[in-house]
Amino acid sequence: MDGPDSDDTAWHVVAEHDDAAALIDTLLELDPEASFTKTELSDRADVPLKSLYLNGTLDAVTELGLLEKRERDGEEPLYSVDDDSDAFAAARSFGNVTRAAASTEP
């Protein structure tokens, strides 16, 4: 994984950022063609903006390849789901497995 600390696995990133799991779960439900501000992502994931932005969760999830960040002159960046990434495919598969397991529980 590329990024500031390439020894970190995706699991480590999720464990280190308290609200990463909620954000990733939300990303799986978003339209990949849509763009979102960090505030909109915060609202949709029901995660405090401070956690996403100031604590580095948004940057960490972007570095994993789950989001694409588009800088804009004089405005805050926009983010979109990178549904073509290996990380997104893995998150979707994991989500499908856990949903299937939950539906078969007695």
Domains and CATH numbers, the chain: 10-103 (1.10.10.10)
CA dist 20 and 106 (Å) reads 29
Task: Calculate mean pLDDT across residues 24-44.
Answer: 95
8 A C-beta contact, residue 32 and residue 79: no
8 A C-beta contact, residue 59 and residue 3: no
* pLDDT band of 68, cuts 50, 70, 90: very high
pTM reported for the whole predicted model: 0.79
* Mean pLDDT over each residue of the chain, to the nearest integer: 85
